[in-house]
Amino acid sequence: MTKFESDIKQAYHNPDKIFSFISNFNNFEHLIPQDKIKNWQSDEDSCRFSVEGIGEAGLRIVDKEPFKTVKYSTDGKVPFNFYLWVQLKQVAEGDTRIKLTIKAELNAMMKMMVAKQVKKFLNMLGDAIANYHYPNH
């Protein structure tokens, strides 16, 4: 398994708000770049979409640890299998650190081809989660 990690992001929200949001794929349409992702379909636990230049992909939530971790896995036909973890760590009231990790089944050639894009994707998604304006309820 090949491991990719995002930079650690800072969100000015408590982890319960972030956790509730990222535990429901219906919220993810607000986080993804509309110019890169097409044909978005989701329910609470899974989603399907097309990525320009890569093809159709799907994800599903496979595990949740309240206010700490959400784990996702590929679902259906995808170019390669991977697992995505979003970890949340509260360091103070209204201050949560976010780290995203992908573990993928890649051969050496694929790893070289996708490493830069995967790291960029993780940081983009981490920034989107950290900077999202969560509702006050």
CB 9 within 8 A of CB 89: no
Window from 6-15, 28-37, 126-135 with minimum mean pLDDT: 28-37
Q: How many CB atoms lie within 10 A of CB 96?
A: 24
Q: Which residue has the tokens 């972030």?
A: 18
| Long-range Cβ pairs for the range 53-59 (8 Å, 24+) | 54/79, 55/79, 59/25, 59/84
Q: What angle do CA 121, 95, 60 make, to 5 degrees?
A: 40
For 86-128, how does the pLDDT look when each residue is reduced to its tens digit (9 = 90+)? 999 999 999 999 999 999 989 999 888 888 988 998 999 999 9
For 69-81, how does the pLDDT look when each residue is reduced to its tens digit (9 = 90+)? 999 999 987 777 8
- Residue 52: the pLDDT is 72
* Domains and their CATH numbers in the chain: 2-131 (3.30.530.20)
Report the mean per-residue pLDDT for the chain. 91
